[in-house]
């Protein structure tokens, strides 16, 4: 059984989708054994507690540098024998040290069709730019900002009447379905990396 740690900073709706997928068997051969946040009031911590998943808070103010912060995170994750790190609204850019400690074992989700509209405001940026299609992307994490190899993507059409809130809600619905699928593929060893391409073999 592979051990998953989910890192979250906010509401944790993707965490909930992952927990539900483990419970239903949509994610097989793995379990969420740890939830970490950088904020004491993150609702994700309450979601974890409701599912009897251990939690831990690492507050950035208690560390002098990003490297020191990530060093503490990595030490703890390794002590907990974590196999896969899943970012679910974790609003921190990981340092090269963290990425090197878990090569191709860190996944993230982004609310746009990368490489379009990376960064913290993917939904708002897509809407403001006036694109007709957006979506969500699950990718492995590298040292850049939303630049890692893409595992899965799914598109949706932006409607003329879409607001920031309505578009975000529809993208969330995609995320909640696609993220567990990508995690399941990863823990079952169904993703092969060739250069930047993630090849899926789920036969």
Q: Which CATH architecture has domain 2-200?
A: 3-Layer(aba) Sandwich (3.40)
Taking Cα atoms as reference points, which of 186, 94, 30, 189 lies closest to residue 178? 186
Is the CB of residue 10 less than 8 Å from the CB of residue 45?
no
Alpha-carbon distances, residue 75 vs 17, 31, 82, 84, 85 (angstroms): 27, 20, 11, 14, 13
Is position 172 annotated as part of the catalytic site?
Answer: no
pLDDT in tens, the chain (203 residues): 999 999 999 999 999 999 999 999 999 999 999 999 999 999 999 999 999 999 999 999 999 999 999 999 999 999 999 999 999 999 999 999 999 999 999 999 999 999 999 999 999 999 999 999 999 999 999 999 999 999 999 999 999 999 999 999 999 999 999 999 999 999 999 999 999 999 998 77
Q: What is the CA radius of gyration of the chain?
A: 16
Structure-block tokens of residue 20: 């539900």
Whole-number Å distance between alpha carbons of 88 and 90:
5
């Amino acid at each position: 059984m592979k051990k998953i740690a989910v890192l979250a900073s906010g509401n944790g709706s993707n965490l909930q989708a992952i927990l539900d997928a483990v419970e239903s068997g949509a994610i097989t051969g793995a379990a969420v054994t740890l939830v970490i946040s950088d904020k004491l009031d993150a609702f994700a911590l309450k979601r974890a507690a409701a599912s009897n998943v251990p939690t831990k808070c690492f507050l950035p103010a208690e560390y002098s540098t990003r490297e020191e912060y990530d060093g503490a995170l990595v030490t703890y994750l390794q002590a907990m024998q974590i196999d896969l790190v899943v970012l679910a609204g974790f609003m921190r850019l990981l340092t090269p040290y963290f990425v090197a400690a878990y090569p191709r074992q860190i996944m993230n989700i982004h609310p746009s069709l990368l490489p379009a509209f990376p960064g913290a405001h993917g939904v708002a940026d897509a809407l403001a730019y006036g694109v007709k299609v957006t979506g969500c992307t699950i990718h492995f994490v590298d040292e850049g900002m939303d630049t890692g190899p893409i595992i899965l993507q799914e598109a949706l059409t932006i409607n003329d009447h879409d607001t920031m809130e309505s578009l975000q809600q529809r993208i969330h619905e995609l995320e909640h379905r696609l993220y567990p699928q990508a995690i399941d593929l990863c823990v079952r060893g169904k993703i092969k990396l060739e250069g930047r391409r993630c090849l899926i073999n789920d036969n």
